[in-house]
C-alpha cells in the first residue's frame, strides 16, 4: 500500500529562482510573469490549484538558501546553518567541526564602488585561476579558497580564532554603493578576528586581482575585470533531516549552482549533473528537462532549479527577464509536461521575488501552482503573482508546501 501511495505522489517541482516580481509601469502595470507568454505554467495553474508561499520569513537572510530550505520543508529555526556550509557541500568540500565556510563572490569594483556582484559573470576557468592567485597570496592551512561556479566561490577558515559570529551583507543588494560602507562586522567578541580577516581580504585582494594576467586580458577584450572579493553568509556545518527520514521519499535535485546542489545533498537527495547547465540564461534547459523526465522514474521528488531568471533580475534587465521566463516555460516546463503526462504531479514556483525595480530579494510570498492527481482544479486560469492570490491553496508557510505534496512529516 505504501508504494502505491508514493507512486501516486511522484512530483516534479519546477523552481524558477527570482521569477517573482511586482507590477511595472513599462508593462502597463503587469508583472514580467503576467506579461510573458507562459502557456505551460498557465496549464499547471488551470489544471491544478494555486496559492502563495512565504519563503523568506523575518529573522533570516533574504537569500536563496533560506528560500529553498523553506520550499523543501526545512525547519529554519533549528536547521539553518548559513549559505557557506551548503555551498561547501555542493562542492564536496569536507568541513571539520571548527571550520567556518563563507560564500565569496568575485566582484567588479571601481574607485571603491561595487559595480557588479558577479564580476561580469566571469567564466569558470578564469574564476578558478583568480581563486588560485588568492590562495597563493592569502592562503595557508587555516585560510583556503575553493573555486565554485563562475563568480560563486568558497572560503573556508579553520580552527581558532575563526568564528561564524560575523555580520555580512549580500553583495547583490549593494551594486552601485561604496564597498567600505558594508564591510563585515563582528556580532560578538568571538567574531572580531574573523571580521578583521574578511575586511583585510576585501581591502587587499583588489591589488592582487588587478595585477592578474586574467584581468589584464579581460580588460584588453573589453570585459569588466573581476577585481574584488566579497565574503558573506558564513556558518558551520549543520545537520538537516533527510527527506527519506522526514517524508519517506527519495528525492533528486537538478541545478547548476552549488548552494542548491549542497542543500539537496544535505537533504539526502541524489544530485543529477546536466552538461551545459551554467546558472545563467545560456543554461541547458532541454538537458535539465530530459534529466527530470528520466529521474522521476525512480524518484518520488525531482527538484529542477533554474538560476537564470534570478541573475537577470539582479541586473534589472527587464527584457532579458521576460525572455528567461519564456525560455523556462517553453524549453523546460513544456518539454517535461509533454513527456510525463497527467499521472505525475507537478508544481511551479519561484523561491523568492527579485523585483526589477529593486534588483534585490524581497520577502513577499511567491505564487505557487500545483497539479496533483485526483485533485480538482480551483478555477485559477493563469500562473502569476496576482491570479494565484485567488487560489484555494491560500497562504502557505513553514513546511506547508511539502506537506501538501507528501503528507505530514514523520516525527523526530
Domain limits, the chain: 2-79+240-406, 88-235
CATH 3.40.50.720 assigned to 2-79+240-406: no
- Taking CA 398 as the corner, what is the angle to CA 392 and CA 400, rounded to the nearest 5 degrees? 35
Task: Say how many C-beta atoms besides its own lie within 10 A of residue 8's C-beta.
Answer: 13
Instruction: Report the distance separating Cα 257 and Cα 285, nearest Å.
Output: 14
Instruction: Report the distance separating Cα 176 and Cα 117, nearest Å.
Output: 10
Check: CB of residue 160 under 8 Å from CB of residue 141. no
Centroid of chain to Cα 369: 19
- What CA dihedral angle connects 394, 400, 405 and 409, to 10 degrees? -160
Query: CB-based burial of residue 188 (10 Å sphere; 0-12 exposed, 13-18 middle, 19+ buried)?
Result: exposed
Residues in contact with 32: Cβ distance below 8 Å, sequence separation at least 6, in sequence order = 19, 21, 24, 318, 321, 322, 325, 356
Q: Which among 262, 266, 259, 271 is positioned nearest to 244, based on CA atoms?
A: 266
Task: Say how many C-beta atoms besides its own lie within 10 A of residue 92's C-beta.
Answer: 11
Residue pLDDT tens, the chain, 412 long:
234 445 569 999 999 999 999 999 999 999 999 999 999 999 999 999 999 999 999 999 999 999 999 999 999 999 999 999 999 999 999 999 999 999 999 999 999 999 999 999 999 999 999 999 999 999 999 999 999 999 999 999 999 899 999 999 999 999 999 999 999 999 999 999 999 999 999 999 999 999 999 999 999 999 999 999 999 999 999 889 999 999 999 999 999 999 999 999 999 999 999 999 999 999 999 999 999 999 999 999 999 999 999 999 999 999 999 999 999 999 999 999 999 989 999 999 999 999 999 999 999 999 999 999 999 999 999 999 999 999 999 999 999 999 999 999 999 8
Amino acid at each position: 500500500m505504501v508504494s502505491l501511495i508514493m507512486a501516486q505522489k511522484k512530483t516534479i517541482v519546477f523552481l524558477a529562482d527570482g521569477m517573482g516580481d511586482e507590477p511595472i509601469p513599462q508593462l502597463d502595470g503587469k508583472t514580467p510573469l503576467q506579461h510573458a507568454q507562459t502557456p505551460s505554467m498557465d496549464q499547471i495553474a488551470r489544471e491544478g490549484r494555486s496559492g502563495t508561499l512565504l519563503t523568506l520569513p523575518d529573522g533570516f537572510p533574504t537569500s536563496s538558501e533560506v528560500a529553498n530550505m523553506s520550499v523543501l520543508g526545512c525547519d529554519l529555526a533549528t536547521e539553518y546553518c548559513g549559505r557557506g556550509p551548503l555551498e561547501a557541500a555542493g562542492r564536496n568540500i569536507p568541513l571539520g567541526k571548527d571550520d567556518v565556510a563563507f560564500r565569496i563572490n568575485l566582484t567588479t569594483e571601481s574607485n571603491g564602488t561595487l559595480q557588479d556582484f558577479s564580476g561580469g559573470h566571469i567564466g569558470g576557468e578564469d574564476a578558478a585561476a583568480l581563486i588560485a592567485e588568492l590562495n597563493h597570496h592569502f592562503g595557508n592551512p587555516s585560510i583556503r579558497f575553493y573555486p565554485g561556479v563562475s563568480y560563486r566561490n568558497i572560503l573556508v577558515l579553520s580552527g581558532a580564532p575563526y568564528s561564524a559570529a560575523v555580520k555580512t551583507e549580500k553583495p547583490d543588494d549593494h551594486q552601485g554603493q561604496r564597498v567600505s560602507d558594508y564591510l563585515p562586522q563582528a556580532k560578538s567578541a568571538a567574531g572580531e578576528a574573523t571580521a578583521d580577516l574578511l575586511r583585510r581580504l576585501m581591502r587587499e585582494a583588489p591589488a592582487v586581482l588587478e595585477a592578474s594576467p586574467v584581468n589584464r586580458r579581460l580588460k584588453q577584450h573589453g570585459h569588466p575585470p573581476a577585481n574584488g572579493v566579497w565574503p558573506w553568509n558564513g556558518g558551520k556545518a549543520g545537520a538537516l533531516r533527510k527527506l527519506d527520514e522526514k517524508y519517506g521519499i527519495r528525492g533528486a535535485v537538478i541545478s547548476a549552482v552549488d548552494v542548491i546542489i549542497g542543500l539537496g545533498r544535505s537533504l539526502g537527495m541524489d544530485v543529477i549533473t546536466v552538461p551545459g547547465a551554467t546558472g545563467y540564461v545560456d543554461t541547458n534547459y532541454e538537458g535539465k528537462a530530459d534529466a527530470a523526465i528520466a529521474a522521476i522514474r525512480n524518484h518520488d521528488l525531482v527538484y529542477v532549479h533554474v538560476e537564470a531568471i534570478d541573475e537577470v533580475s539582479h541586473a534589472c534587465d527587464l527584457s532579458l527577464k521576460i525572455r528567461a521566463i519564456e525560455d523556462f516555460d517553453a524549453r523546460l516546463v513544456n518539454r517535461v509536461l509533454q513527456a510525463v503526462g497527467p499521472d505525475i504531479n507537478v508544481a511551479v514556483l519561484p523561491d523568492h521575488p527579485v523585483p526589477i525595480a529593486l534588483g534585490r530579494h524581497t520577502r513577499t510570498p511567491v505564487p505557487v501552482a500545483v497539479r496533483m492527481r485526483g485533485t480538482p482544479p480551483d478555477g485559477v486560469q493563469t500562473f502569476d503573482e496576482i491570479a494565484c492570490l485567488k487560489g484555494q491553496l491560500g497562504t502557505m508557510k513553514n513546511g506547508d508546501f511539502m506537506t501538501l505534496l507528501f503528507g505530514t512529516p514523520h516525527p523526530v
